[in-house]
Chains A and B, each alone.
Chain A
Amino acid sequence: MNYLAQRLLTFPLVLLGVSLLVFFAIRLVPGDAIIAMLGTEAGLLTEAQRASLAQYFGLDQPIVVQYGRWLMGLFEGNLGISVTYGKPVLEVIIARFPLTLELSLLSMLIALAVGIPAGVFAATRADRPSDLTVRVFAMLGQSTPSFVVGLVLIYFLSATFRILPAMGTFTPLFEDPLGNLGQMILPAITLGFSFAAAVTRISRSAMLDVLSDDYVRTARSKGASQRDVVWGHALPNALIPVVTLSGVEFGYLLGGAVIVEQIFALPGLGRLTLDAISQRDYPLVQGAVLFIAFNFLVVNLLVDLAYAALDPRIRLGGK
């Protein structure tokens, strides 16, 4: 109870800090928002027109007031109006968010589904040739940036099969599951590749640690078989560090999505943020970054809850 209460209380504090950082960081970006919006045409504005535009976007108020108003708006679910799209920021984000979310979740799924069994397998055959093979692959995988993986995949597809994966479009999952997966599978593998390698290494190392723990010895002394030991005793304990890692890594996945979306030209949140930054679209950048950070924190919270579910020492506290 204590542990959870603490986590829940620090959550809004951190979120507040994030909003502060985002808000003021954006303000440091050089270049007047209005010039960025209108480009060369900005020179054609009269002072009065410029002032009125500035007032419309609230750019004439002192900065603290702007922050306050923005924060108030947040509570109402209003993240402002995007300068480039002319639509509410929230609307723009929500349109692109499902893609990025699906991409991240799919890559995490692939990574866990491949990594955990590989790591456990390697640990049970420690120091034998099969273990070495897994470790070499995992090491190579962790050293390969996502864009290299993506480019190589595209190359092989186009060179070997003469097909270029469809890019630029996105079919939502619920409309056409098969089509959607066909589009997402390659980006998900790209993004999940190095994470899978990391999961393999962590699973292997955690398993090895756990297998040499005393309670495993106790189980064996009771007559437990290797299977009992690995699945019943070792794995539940070894999963704990894997879960912790996954939470941390998810953030990198969300960020790495930017690069993958770029390569495969997917209309996701990452690319949106990238473009918004170069276009000085303050409201959009604020909203998008805050949104991503919020999701990351939520995932971390979920990881902490999973952690408590797995480890009774955290759940119930000490003696």
Chain B
Amino acid sequence: MKPLLSVRDLHVGFGRDPAAHEVVKGVSFELAAGETLAIVGESGSGKSVTALSVNRLVDFGGGKITGGSITLDRTGGAVDITSADEAVLQGIRGREIGMIFQEPMTSLNPVHTVGRQIEEAFRLSRGITGHAATIAAREALERVRIPDATQRLGYYPHQLSGGMRQRVMIAMVIAANPRLLIADEPTTALDVTVQAQIMALLAELRAETQMAMIFITHDIGLVAGVADQIMVMQQGAAVEQGALDAVIDHPQHDYTKHLLGAVPHFTSGAAVLGDGVRNGEQAPIVRVDNLVVRFPAARGLFARASGAVHAVDGIDFDLRPGETLAIVGESGSGKSTTARAILGLTPATRGGIAVAGHGHRPVQMVFQDPFASLNPRLDVESLLAEPAIAAGQKVDAKLRERMVTLLKRVGLPEDALTRYPHQFSGGQRQRLAIARALMLNPDVVVLDEAVSALDVSVQARVLELLVDLQREFGLAYLFISHDMAVVERIAHRIAVMYAGQLVEIGDARSVLADPQHSYTRRLIGAVPAIDRRRQDFKVDNTQVPSLLKPRGYEPPPARWREAGTDHRVRLEEQ
């Protein structure tokens, strides 16, 4: 049977001389109807450009296909997309090839209602207009399981959450019932549980419509659940491709092996560090007592606040020296707010934060975005000197010696002192941030999603560095993350947060191997992992409860039960 899509020796370049600036260097693959191909690679691999070439959208971004062919099989005969003219392409886009993108916020027109944009999809692909289109749009929303579909038609994109916007995008795409769906990192910007919901939705739709799919991602664990075929790309070329099981179980190319090895596999607690068992004798270095952080809701000029956003609603925990406590949760859980409150960046509304450390500033922080946490205008020496200057120290030879020592310790060259941040890669900048955090000999380092923005292979090395530093300097870590697999490799204890409250806390192995709270279970269940091949994602649509509560609202007092020596679970309301 002829394949639906056949790509042969594709070359794509950018700029004024595309042949000299190639981003895709000879990629070939075939896709049969109803099949799913996963294209996996890190940033700069050319995977997105390959996807954008299939429907020639790459032309609008300054790209040009400089060689090869892309053949799409249609009922009226095959079409070579590389040489088709714009009129033909417009007919193909939407109707036969649909696409969903990575950033749902910016991928929807902010000044048109959601309904209007879905109706446009129906109009363009099937010629349906007017009232019929409105009905079709509503049905499409229902099909992607958005509650209150009729109402939502009149909403604007900024009024919806990230997960809902992505569902709207999917609704627009399936309006046309395309034979091929290109999904370019559709879940990368979403929370893990939302990601699971979207993956389930896609799986369901695929089964219903027999649609073929090209799924682009950097997360090799994610595709293990959806793909039939897999293609691994690096620097513009396909280094390995074939059936899913073959590639994952018997990788041939070094890069594939490297990727598979670097991705933290979630093993339900088996990979937890063994050196942090609490022995009840040490005094905690950080103690948080019934911490509450609330932000008054936006109000009129003279009216009192009508309510407040309960970002953190009464949590307690403590942290011992040399220990890593991971705070895990998704957006809106309050984990970042907790970290910021401990550092004094956000004022706490109530509750006690006691830090027992000595020294000028015993708690330091490493931020998530390596590009935003270093002032681009200062050289590395100034960047490292700042904490010392703030502590009243002088910038002399002794200080510089310390800088060099720390730089070497985090794996950076000595001559880095005179360079500027933009001359370093993401991973290197994060190492700089770590060195900077260590300048004042802190007792506690808060790592707020410190490795989340890094490529998978870089992530692993930075995590290794962190563990080493912890052992050498006796540092306590507060590790904020949403990624269970990463957490498994660094945490001694885990605290799970949901909607501003602590729902489960305890020894890492215990929590991961035997989660007690329903949310923890859902969180762990949503983690994509290599071993779960072609799993059935259960379709579930729980929405995060709103954090906005009316004035004077106090949550009911927490009730806990013990589930092990160091394992507490919050009782759930029935």
| Contact between A and B in the complex (any CB pair below 8 Å) | yes
Q: Which residues of A contact B (CB under 8 A)?
A: 2, 5-6, 9, 212-215, 217-225, 228, 232-233, 236-237, 310-313, 316-319
Complex Cα–Cα for A210 and B412 (A):
41
Given the complex, which residues of A lie within 8 Å of B176, measured CB to CB?
A: 222-223
Subset of 11 A-B contacts with CB under 8 Å: A6-B300, A215-B109, A219-B109, A233-B112, A237-B111, A311-B111, A312-B111, A312-B158, A316-B158, A317-B298, A319-B159
Complex Cα–Cα for A318 and B124 (A):
30
B90 touching A221, Cβ below 8 Å: no
Given the complex, which residues of A lie within 8 Å of B125, measured CB to CB?
A: 222-223
Chain A residue at smallest Cβ distance from B97: A221
Choose from A6, A221, A232 the contact partner of B93 (Cβ within 8 Å): A221
Given the complex, which residues of B lie within 8 Å of A233, measured CB to CB?
A: 109, 112
Complex Cα–Cα for A123 and B264 (A):
47
Segment with Cβ contacts to A, from B100-108, B228-236, B346-354, B443-451:
B100-108
Given the complex, which residues of A lie within 8 Å of B55, measured CB to CB?
A: 221
Chain A residue at smallest Cβ distance from B299: A2
Given the complex, which residues of A lie within 8 Å of B109, measured CB to CB?
A: 215, 218-219, 233, 237
Given the complex, which residues of A lie within 8 Å of B92, measured CB to CB?
A: 223
Shortest Cβ gap from B387 to chain A (Å): 35
B94 touching A5, Cβ below 8 Å: no
Shortest Cβ gap from A213 to chain B (Å): 7
A218 touching B93, Cβ below 8 Å: no
Complex Cα–Cα for A317 and B112 (A):
15
Chain A residue at smallest Cβ distance from B92: A223
Shortest Cβ gap from A306 to chain B (Å): 13
Chain B residue at smallest Cβ distance from A312: B156
B103 touching A319, Cβ below 8 Å: no
Known A221-B99, A222-B93, A317-B298; contact A215-B107, beta-carbon cutoff 8 A: yes
A316 touching B301, Cβ below 8 Å: no
Query: B219 in the interface, Cβ–Cβ < 8 Å?
Result: no
A222 touching B111, Cβ below 8 Å: no
Given the complex, which residues of B lie within 8 Å of A232, measured CB to CB?
A: 120
Shortest Cβ gap from A82 to chain B (Å): 38
Shortest Cβ gap from A77 to chain B (Å): 28
A217 touching B90, Cβ below 8 Å: no
Choose from B106, B120, B159, B300 the contact partner of A5 (Cβ within 8 Å): B300
A217 touching B57, Cβ below 8 Å: yes
Shortest Cβ gap from A91 to chain B (Å): 37
Known A6-B301, A316-B159, A317-B298; contact A220-B110, beta-carbon cutoff 8 A: no
Shortest Cβ gap from B96 to chain A (Å): 9
A213 touching B158, Cβ below 8 Å: no
Complex Cα–Cα for A316 and B298 (A):
13
Given the complex, which residues of B lie within 8 Å of A218, measured CB to CB?
A: 99, 101, 107-109, 169, 172
Given the complex, which residues of B lie within 8 Å of A316, measured CB to CB?
A: 156, 158-159
A214 touching B111, Cβ below 8 Å: no
Given the complex, which residues of A lie within 8 Å of B90, measured CB to CB?
A: 223-225
Given the complex, which residues of B lie within 8 Å of A9, measured CB to CB?
A: 301
Choose from A2, A212, A214 the contact partner of B101 (Cβ within 8 Å): A214
B93 touching A223, Cβ below 8 Å: yes
Contact with A along B265-299 (1 / 0, CB 8 A): 00000000000000000000000000000000011
Complex Cα–Cα for A114 and B110 (A):
27
A222 touching B156, Cβ below 8 Å: no
A221 touching B57, Cβ below 8 Å: yes
Choose from B57, B108, B158 the contact partner of A215 (Cβ within 8 Å): B108
Complex Cα–Cα for A274 and B73 (A):
76
Given the complex, which residues of B lie within 8 Å of A312, measured CB to CB?
A: 110-111, 156, 158
Count A-B pairs with CB separation below 8 Å: 94
A2 touching B57, Cβ below 8 Å: no
Query: B60 in the interface, Cβ–Cβ < 8 Å?
Result: yes
Query: B375 in the interface, Cβ–Cβ < 8 Å?
Result: no
A220 touching B60, Cβ below 8 Å: yes
Chain B residue at smallest Cβ distance from A237: B111
Complex Cα–Cα for A222 and B91 (A):
9
Choose from B95, B106, B121, B161 the contact partner of A213 (Cβ within 8 Å): B106
B57 touching A222, Cβ below 8 Å: no
Contact with A along B53-68 (1 / 0, CB 8 A): 0010100110000000
Query: B421 in the interface, Cβ–Cβ < 8 Å?
Result: no
Other than the given A215-B108, A222-B121, A222-B125, 8 more pairs (CB < 8 A) read: A5-B301, A218-B99, A218-B101, A218-B169, A222-B124, A222-B176, A316-B159, A318-B158
Complex Cα–Cα for A318 and B161 (A):
11
Given the complex, which residues of B lie within 8 Å of A221, measured CB to CB?
A: 55, 57, 93-94, 98-99
Shortest Cβ gap from A208 to chain B (Å): 13
Shortest Cβ gap from A80 to chain B (Å): 33
B158 touching A222, Cβ below 8 Å: no
Shortest Cβ gap from A154 to chain B (Å): 44
Complex Cα–Cα for A228 and B169 (A):
18
Which 4 A-B residue pairings sit nearest by Cβ, starting from the closest? A223-B94, A214-B106, A222-B94, A221-B99
Chain A residue at smallest Cβ distance from B59: A220
B161 touching A319, Cβ below 8 Å: yes
Given the complex, which residues of B lie within 8 Å of A317, measured CB to CB?
A: 298
Name which of A5, A219, A223 has the most chain B CB atoms within 10 A of its CB: A223
Complex Cα–Cα for A212 and B55 (A):
17
Complex Cα–Cα for A221 and B61 (A):
13
B300 touching A222, Cβ below 8 Å: no
Given the complex, which residues of B lie within 8 Å of A217, measured CB to CB?
A: 57, 60-61, 101, 107
Chain B residue at smallest Cβ distance from A222: B94
Chain B residue at smallest Cβ distance from A226: B86
Contact with A along B294-312 (1 / 0, CB 8 A): 0000111100000000000
Chain B residue at smallest Cβ distance from A218: B107
Shortest Cβ gap from B294 to chain A (Å): 18
* B 148-166 contacts with A by CB, 8 A: 156, 158-161
Choose from A214, A223, A236, A313 the contact partner of B124 (Cβ within 8 Å): A223
Known A215-B107, A237-B111, A312-B111; contact A224-B124, beta-carbon cutoff 8 A: yes
Shortest Cβ gap from A226 to chain B (Å): 8
B106 touching A313, Cβ below 8 Å: no
Choose from B93, B103, B301 the contact partner of A220 (Cβ within 8 Å): B93
Complex Cα–Cα for A228 and B301 (A):
41
Complex Cα–Cα for A219 and B101 (A):
12
Known A223-B125, A225-B90; contact A214-B159, beta-carbon cutoff 8 A: no
Known A2-B298, A214-B107, A236-B111; contact A220-B158, beta-carbon cutoff 8 A: no
A223 touching B172, Cβ below 8 Å: no
Complex Cα–Cα for A218 and B158 (A):
16
Given the complex, which residues of A lie within 8 Å of B301, measured CB to CB?
A: 5-6, 9
A220 touching B111, Cβ below 8 Å: no
Known A316-B156, A319-B158; contact A222-B101, beta-carbon cutoff 8 A: no
Shortest Cβ gap from A209 to chain B (Å): 12
A222 touching B298, Cβ below 8 Å: no
Given the complex, which residues of B lie within 8 Å of A5, measured CB to CB?
A: 300-301
Name which of B120, B172, B176 has the most chain A CB atoms within 10 A of its CB: B120
Complex Cα–Cα for A7 and B296 (A):
21
Contact with A along B210-230 (1 / 0, CB 8 A): 000000000000000000000
Given the complex, which residues of B lie within 8 Å of A2, measured CB to CB?
A: 298-300
Shortest Cβ gap from A202 to chain B (Å): 18
A223 touching B91, Cβ below 8 Å: yes
Complex Cα–Cα for A213 and B112 (A):
15
Given the complex, which residues of B lie within 8 Å of A6, measured CB to CB?
A: 300-301
Complex Cα–Cα for A225 and B98 (A):
15
A214 touching B103, Cβ below 8 Å: yes
Complex Cα–Cα for A144 and B120 (A):
45
B156 touching A313, Cβ below 8 Å: yes
Given the complex, which residues of B lie within 8 Å of A310, measured CB to CB?
A: 111
